[in-house]
Amino acid sequence: MVQKPSIPKGTRDFSPTEMSRRNYIFDTIREVFRLYGFKQIETPAMENLSTLMGKYGEEGDKLLFKILNSGDFLSKADHSLIAAGDCVHLTPQLCEKGLRYDLTVPFARYVVQHRNDIQFPFKRFQIQPVWRADRPQKGRYREFYQCDADIIGSDSLVNEIELLQLIDEVFSRLKINITIKLNNRKVLAGIAELIGAPEKIVDITVAIDKIDKIGIENVNAELRERGLSEDSINTLQPILAIDGTIEQRIEKLSDILQNSEIGALGVKELQEVVAGVEALGLRATLDLDVSLARGLNYYTGTIIEVKAQDVQIGSITGGGRYDNLTGVFGLPNVSGVGISFGADRIYDVLNALDLYPAETTSATTIMFTNFGAAETAVAMKMIKQLRAAGISAEIYPETAKMKKQMGYADALNIPFVAIVGENEIAENKLMLKEMSTGSQQLLSIEETINRLK
């Protein structure tokens, strides 16, 4: 039976060219993680469903990919649930395992499971794919990579300063101009306190987020619609009107929140973080965004979001401080701060701006032609010497027509071709052809090594 091959929707194959580009991103992030002293871990693709379920909300539970139990999976199934067609309650009886949905929950599980072997503060990084049964659409995949760095077991703001520098370094190396938006969960708590409506904080941040698009009058109208009192809306006006440099904006926020203990603490943290990074120098643009609320129920302090300046796309990195990463697994009060690079969106940004260095498009430096057994034997000895010198080299494996061999080198962007025929062998040399110019030079293998290194 012949099958027309395809892959599951929302997943992707990566060709050699795509892999070179993706590796460029991953290698850059990994190198900076290491430069900053983060240590890599990996966790299994499959986790127990009990580890994953209930951690991402009801919607998240649905988006988990579940692994059908092996063998007689029906034996544990409640047949009344089958009869009722109750897939939701049947699933845990048919499946014990699921694919990881993010790197945060497996990391929390890892920390608790290995807490006796971990040296705290623990600076860990993790670069692995995650899987979500989301409806696939442009820029949203069912398998995608996350690149996370977290420091846990330390509530010092030094960690925030370090992570902001790290973000700056990664995007500076990738040549992507970014704006880093900052906020602090305590500032949001202070605002909620100020207007006496803590349950409205999400409505408020959603509305504030629209100021640039719809203007302050429409924001106020929306707040009214969402049930905020006129008093509350009036109290919010100075916050909506904040402008100036980031220092000036924090200063104004400080005035507004001076009577809220938690709000004032949030402002103080923001000030310390901003002063810390500015003293060290940042290439990125730093911005205060009091509407920034990412994962509100999760973060407890600093909130970070990164936007590319030159491409219209969602946030390409995000993170923040949390105070109870591992509580659900029985280890309370572990404070940490972390960031997550969205490799797939960064890939889209680099593609849109065509920012890949030239070397990411070629795998092999030099291809040797194949004119038959005798020539090949000589060529392979030369190739061995080139490889020993660290130069990637290959021989066209078949004794094909010259045109075909050259076409192969051309299609694969191999910059140099070595022609080894009768004449070259007689002189113990090779004819080095530079593909971009077509120029040819008769060289010894030593000269070739010097030329290509």
User: Nearest Cα to 204, choosing from 183, 173, 174?
Assistant: 183
| Least distance in angstroms from the C-beta of 218 to its own copies | 38
In the bound state with its own copies, the residue whose beta carbon lies nearer, of 37 and 314, is 37
User: Nearest Cα to 189, choosing from 245, 128, 131, 266?
Assistant: 266
**Helix, coil or strand: residue 175:** coil
| Least distance in angstroms from the C-beta of 106 to its own copies | 9
In the bound state with its own copies, the residue whose beta carbon lies nearer, of 223 and 393, is 393
Contacts for 238 with CB less than 8 Å, ≥ 6 apart: 252, 256
| Least distance in angstroms from the C-beta of 374 to its own copies | 12
* Residue 398 and residue 392 in contact, taking contact as beta carbons nearer than 8 Å: no
- What is the sign of the dihedral through the CA atoms of 67, 69, 70 and 72? negative
Contacts for 136 with CB less than 8 Å, ≥ 6 apart: 9, 10, 142
User: Nearest Cα to 287, choosing from 165, 157, 180?
Assistant: 180
| Least distance in angstroms from the C-beta of 63 to its own copies | 8
CA dist 391 → 226, 449, 450 (Å): 65, 8, 10
| Least distance in angstroms from the C-beta of 443 to its own copies | 20
In the bound state with its own copies, the residue whose beta carbon lies nearer, of 120 and 230, is 120
Cα atoms in the Cβ-side hemisphere of radius 13 Å centred on 150: 29
| Least distance in angstroms from the C-beta of 12 to its own copies | 7
| Least distance in angstroms from the C-beta of 323 to its own copies | 16
User: Nearest Cα to 393, choosing from 374, 416, 375?
Assistant: 416
* Residue 349 and residue 313 in contact, taking contact as beta carbons nearer than 8 Å: yes
In the bound state with its own copies, the residue whose beta carbon lies nearer, of 21 and 185, is 21
| Least distance in angstroms from the C-beta of 396 to its own copies | 8
In the bound state with its own copies, the residue whose beta carbon lies nearer, of 127 and 201, is 127
| Least distance in angstroms from the C-beta of 380 to its own copies | 6
User: Nearest Cα to 118, choosing from 356, 422, 336?
Assistant: 336
* Residue 127 and residue 99 in contact, taking contact as beta carbons nearer than 8 Å: no
In the bound state with its own copies, the residue whose beta carbon lies nearer, of 43 and 315, is 43
**How many angstroms separate the CA atoms of 389 and 449, rounded?**
7
**Helix, coil or strand: residue 28:** helix
Q: Which residues pair with 305 in a beta bridge?
A: 181, 318
In the bound state with its own copies, the residue whose beta carbon lies nearer, of 32 and 201, is 32
In the bound state with its own copies, the residue whose beta carbon lies nearer, of 96 and 102, is 96
In the bound state with its own copies, the residue whose beta carbon lies nearer, of 2 and 358, is 2
In the bound state with its own copies, the residue whose beta carbon lies nearer, of 33 and 299, is 33
| Least distance in angstroms from the C-beta of 16 to its own copies | 4
> Quick one: tokens of 101?
């949905």
Q: For residues 279-295, b (16+ Cβ closer than 10 Å) or e, as one string?
A: eeebebebbbbbbbbbe
| Least distance in angstroms from the C-beta of 436 to its own copies | 18
Cis peptide before 92 (omega within 30 of 0): no
* Residue 316 and residue 284 in contact, taking contact as beta carbons nearer than 8 Å: no
Contacts for 198 with CB less than 8 Å, ≥ 6 apart: 189, 192
- What is the sign of the dihedral through the CA atoms of 220, 222, 223 and 225? positive
| Least distance in angstroms from the C-beta of 317 to its own copies | 19
In the bound state with its own copies, the residue whose beta carbon lies nearer, of 260 and 302, is 302
Q: What is the DSSP letter of 134?
A: P
In the bound state with its own copies, the residue whose beta carbon lies nearer, of 97 and 200, is 97
